Amino acid sequence: MDPFHNPFIAEHAERARTIPLEEFSPANPKYMEMDVWRPYFSRLREEAPLHYCEDRIIGPYWSLTRYKDIMATEVNTKVFSSSSTFGGITLMDQREELPMFIAMDQPKHDEQRKVVQPIVSPQNLENMEKLIRQRTQRVLDALPRNETFNWVEKVSIDLTNMMLATLFDFPFDDRALLTYWSDSATANTLGGGHVDSEETRERILAECLAYFTRLWNERVNAEPGSDLVSMLAHGPATRNMSPREYLGNLVLLIVGGNDTTRNSMTGGVCFLNQNPDEYARLRANPALVEPMVSEIIRYQTPLAYMRRTALEDFEMHGQTIRKGDKLAMWYVSGNRDSAAIDNPDQFIIDRARPRQHLSFGFGIHRCVGNRLAELQLRILWEEILQRFSKVEVVGPPKRVFSAFIRGYTELPVRVIP
């Protein structure tokens, strides 16, 4: 049986084609969980590139679905704010404001970003490459052979978690906490997981802050180190942050470096199984790993959208976005826009300009960790090709219930030597 057979897609394709546009709710987390989002967004791109939705839970919001419109909005930071003062970067307005530099505007954003940016300098990435490779080798060598296991848990989570521990110089034996905090920060409270309310989330994040405050106190009086905690504790724009702002920036760095790369590590296995010809071409020519990594990140789009809030009235596509309105820039849709990308629904491992995709965002908030994420994925696939003729998907993937995080909780696989 085809593990990727989706029994719901036909029904949703029909629904997306026929229901009135006013009834569209692009941010329905079920669409991602059930993997039926594509037909909805393709109709929006065609017929309603700026779409308005009155949502019961998240309130009214606009959706942008075309590549070009998203790019133009990303660079228009005078009109479109990321600030958590107005609700931040996700559609659901947070009850407790959590300041972090991804959710700040200029000039404060720039000052704080510059503090942590050196963690991914070309020099630092070069230094980290050897360590990442050794760990990847160890994880792959320890995998069970000829036996079904969950790729998400045994490979994707383990590798991204170790990477995070290194970036923070976090006590290695406690590193599972990082994954726990990351998942807790992003969990949808309606998703049936361990975070069943905002109160629970706040309690777990308070534990995270307490732990990291110990690390801060140790490092603030030591010589400046090259880990993220030390950088924040010594950085001119961050050393006097409030505890709440420290927590916000920690959550940003933990989530930013975790879920996204993790889900790209899993997504790649899915896409190569769905496209056996591409897998064969990759095996025949391992030099294709490099462009393939960018294609995986485009095709997965680990963060489906970023939200902005309008600071003034703005005309677009004959409609007026009012001051204070919120707007989702749907990267996941822009990445499938045929006006910007040839054959966008095709997974093609050797595209001519594979990095021209929206998954990392653009403009002043463009992902800090983009080259690090690419490095981790490149090493993973280089080492997989060294060891296994195939990582075979043997059961259906389970996807995350979220309109924001596009990811997997489970992918049953076998590795074939």
Partner 1 sequence: MPRATFIDHAGESRTVEGAEGENLMRVAVLNDVPGIDADCGGECACATCHVFVDDAWLDKCGEPTELETSMLSFAATAQPNSRLACQIILTSALDGIVVETPVAQH
Minimum gap (Å) between residue 223 Cβ and partner 1: 22
**C-alpha to C-alpha distance for 241 and 244, rounded to whole angstroms:** 8
339 binds partner 1 (CB under 8 A): no
The yes or no reply on residue 26 touching ligand HEM (CB under 6 A) is: no
Determine the straight-line distance between the first and last CA of the chain, rounded to whole angstroms.
22
Binding residue for partner 1, selected from 15, 38, 114, 133, defined by CB under 8 A: 114
- Find which of partner 1, ligand HEM, none residue 118 binds, CB within 5 to 8 Å per kind: partner 1
Q: How many CB atoms lie within 10 A of CB 324?
A: 12
Q: Is 32 in the site for ligand HEM (CB under 6 A)?
A: no
What token pair was written down for 328? 């989702």
Residues ≥6 apart with Cβ < 8 Å to 238: 112, 115, 231, 232, 246, 249
Per the DSSP assignment, residues forming a β-bridge with 319 are 316
Q: How far apart (Å, rounded) are the C-alpha atoms in residues 380 and 16?
A: 37
291 binds partner 1 (CB under 8 A): no
Residue 101, binding choice from ligand HEM, partner 1, none, Cβ under 5 to 8 Å by partner class: ligand HEM
Cα separation of 351 and 360, whole Å? 18
Extract the tokens encoding 180.
């726990």
Q: Which stretch binds ligand HEM (CB under 6 A): 269-277, 333-341, 365-373, 383-391?
A: 365-373
Q: How far is CA 198 from CA 83, 85, 258, in A?
A: 20, 18, 21
Candidates 91-99, 238-246, 362-370, 408-416 — which segment interacts with ligand HEM by CB under 6 A? 362-370
For ligand HEM, which residue of 32, 132, 269, 297 counts as binding (CB under 6 A)?
Answer: 297
- Asked if 151 touches ligand HEM (CB under 6 A), the answer is no
| Strands 149-150, 398-399: pairing kind | unpaired
- Tell the smallest beta-carbon distance from residue 284 to partner 1 (Å): 24
Q: Residue 118 Cβ, how far from partner 1 at the closest point, in Å?
A: 7
Question: Using the rule CB under 8 A, which residue among 149, 180, 211, 362 binds partner 1?
Answer: 362
Please select the residue that binds ligand HEM; options are 102, 282, 348, 413, rule is CB under 6 A. 102
Q: Which of 15, 38, 113, 283 binds ligand HEM (CB under 6 A)?
A: 113
Binding to partner 1 by residue 85, rule CB under 8 A? Answer: no
- CA separation, residue 161 to residues 19, 158, 350 (Å): 43, 5, 29
Show the tokens assigned to 5: 């057979």
* Count, residues near partner 1 per rule CB under 8 A: 24
Cα angle 214-237-96, degrees, rounded to a multiple of 5: 65
Find the binder of partner 1 among 371, 387, 390, 398 (CB under 8 A).
Answer: 371
Query: Measured between alpha carbons, how far is residue 49 from residues 207, 284, 329, 356 in Å?
Result: 42, 41, 11, 20
Residue 356 binding result from partner 1, ligand HEM, none, given CB thresholds of 5 to 8 Å by partner type? partner 1
Best CA proximity match to 289, nearest among 376, 357, 367, 358:
376
Residue 233 near residue 227, CB atoms below 8 Å: no
Contacts of 65 (CB under 8 A, 6+ apart): 26, 41, 44, 45, 48, 49, 51, 330, 333, 334, 337
For residue 91, which of 256, 361, 329 has the smallest C-alpha distance? 329
Binding mask 228-257 for ligand HEM (x = CB under 6 A): ------------------------xx--xx
Under rule CB under 8 A, residue 118 binds partner 1: yes
Q: Does 74 bind partner 1 (CB under 8 A)?
A: yes
Strands (E), 136-195: 149-150
Q: How far is the CB of 222 from partner 1 (least distance, A)?
A: 24
Binds ligand HEM (CB under 6 A): choice among 81, 186, 261, 402: 261
Residue 370 found at the interface with partner 1 (CB under 8 A): yes
The smaller minimum CB distance to partner 1, of residues 150 and 359, is found at 359
Which of the ranges 53-61, 137-145, 219-227, 259-267 carries the binding residues for ligand HEM, by CB under 6 A? 259-267
Which residues form the interface with ligand HEM (CB under 6 A)? 74, 101-102, 113, 252-253, 256-257, 260-261, 264, 297, 302-303, 306, 359-361, 363, 365-369, 372-373
Which residues form the interface with partner 1 (CB under 8 A)? 71, 74-75, 106, 110, 113-114, 117-118, 120-123, 125, 353, 355-356, 360, 362-364, 366, 370-371
